[in-house]
Structure 1
Amino acid sequence: MKTTTSKRAHIRNLTNKLSSILCDEYILLTKTKSVDANLQYIDFQDKYLFFSAQSSEIDIIIQHIEKRVHASGHYADAMLKAFLKVTRFNKKRKKINDRTGYLNELLVDHENLIAILKNNTPLLETTSKDSKTDDFVTTLTESHEKMAWFLRSYLK
């Protein structure tokens, strides 16, 4: 079965969107691991387990996105230089290097990613024309909403 030029353009557009989301996920993973490694607190064990769980969840998300990109016949540019060029997250650390500053920064990044996913959902639906991609993006959004909810609870 031949792939039409229009279909290839749709697949390429979908792959570009997913690759961009992948870059944001990698940056978010790095920031989450940084918080885990750099903060000391009274309830260290609980927070360590919390951030380890969030890091693991983001790592799984990354693997799923990579599989979706590869399944389309394309490859994501998995170089840090490319990530920094494409990511929509703040690349500079806030001036406040304390627990609240780190947690707020992570929360803002999750909220930005949720907004990006929700804003791209109609485009991804149109591009993919399949329910699998719709479900995939919805699952990603729900995962980040849950992680943001937990971060908010730590900030109270």
Structure 2
Amino acid sequence: MEAKIGIKQEHLAAVAQSLSKILADEFVLYTKTRKAHWNVVGIDFLAKHKFFEEQYGQLEQIVDDVAERIRSLGHYAPASLKEYLELTHLSEQSREKNNSAGFIKELLADHESILIHLRENINNYVTALHDAGTSDYITGLMETHEKMAWMLRAHLE
């Protein structure tokens, strides 16, 4: 059934497509953070194992929230690995060493990349697509990623 929420259908479709790309980025970052949690080694193993668990827990909630935002706009959320890999702008990476600093640098770069992407597109939701709700949602998402990035960055100082 079509969502009749005061936004033109073509705008809803554009917002859903944009959110689908964000969902793909979030899912790839979630998976990479899980990988860090499972595979980190070193003297700081336990602390980083728990730290990465906390981070992937936050990302798991973000993934669910973005998908539900897409659904609330009357569209279906992508939900396959193939779709995510086609939509994401992040890359999968294989590591030779599974130390905490390497994982943290890689995850930090992904958070920062997502932040730049969100920041570059936030005004478009309001001005071109007339969706203040999604713009507000993206603002909150940026704040979450800023804090997560800060937590990662603090481990590198």
- Mark yes or no: TM-score above 0.5: yes
| Aligned twin of 1:114 | 115
Judging changes above 3 Å, is the alpha-carbon distance between structure 1 residues 88 and 73 closer, same or farther for their aligned structure 2 residues? same
| Aligned twin of 1:77 | 78
Judging changes above 3 Å, is the alpha-carbon distance between structure 1 residues 150 and 8 closer, same or farther for their aligned structure 2 residues? same
User: Contact 1:14 / 1:127 at 8 angstroms: preserved in 2?
Assistant: no
Q: Distance in 1 between matches of 2:51 and 2:35?
A: 13
**% of aligned pairs identical?**
37
Aligned residue pairs total 154
| Aligned twin of 1:155 | 156
Q: Tell me how far 1:128 sits from its aligned partner.
A: 4.6
Q: Deviations over 1:23-55 (max 9, x none)?
A: 000000000000011012323332222111111
1:26-105 correspondence to structure 2 within 5 Å: 26-94=27-95, 97-105=98-106
Q: Distance in 2 between matches of 1:92 and 1:148?
A: 19
User: Contact 2:20 / 2:77 at 8 angstroms: preserved in 1?
Assistant: yes
User: Contact 1:25 / 1:62 at 8 angstroms: preserved in 2?
Assistant: yes
| Aligned twin of 2:126 | 125
Q: Tell me how far 1:132 sits from its aligned partner.
A: 2.3
Q: Deviations over 1:39-74 (max 9, x none)?
A: 123233322221111111111111111111001111
One-letter identity of the residue aligned with 1:152: R
RMSD of Structure 2 on Structure 1 (CA): 2.1
Q: Distance in 1 between matches of 2:3 and 2:137?
A: 26
User: Contact 1:107 / 1:148 at 8 angstroms: preserved in 2?
Assistant: yes
TM-score (ref. length: structure 2): 0.89
TM-score (ref. length: structure 1): 0.89
Q: Distance in 2 between matches of 1:43 and 1:149?
A: 19
Q: Deviations over 1:85-117 (max 9, x none)?
A: 111012232555432222111000000000010
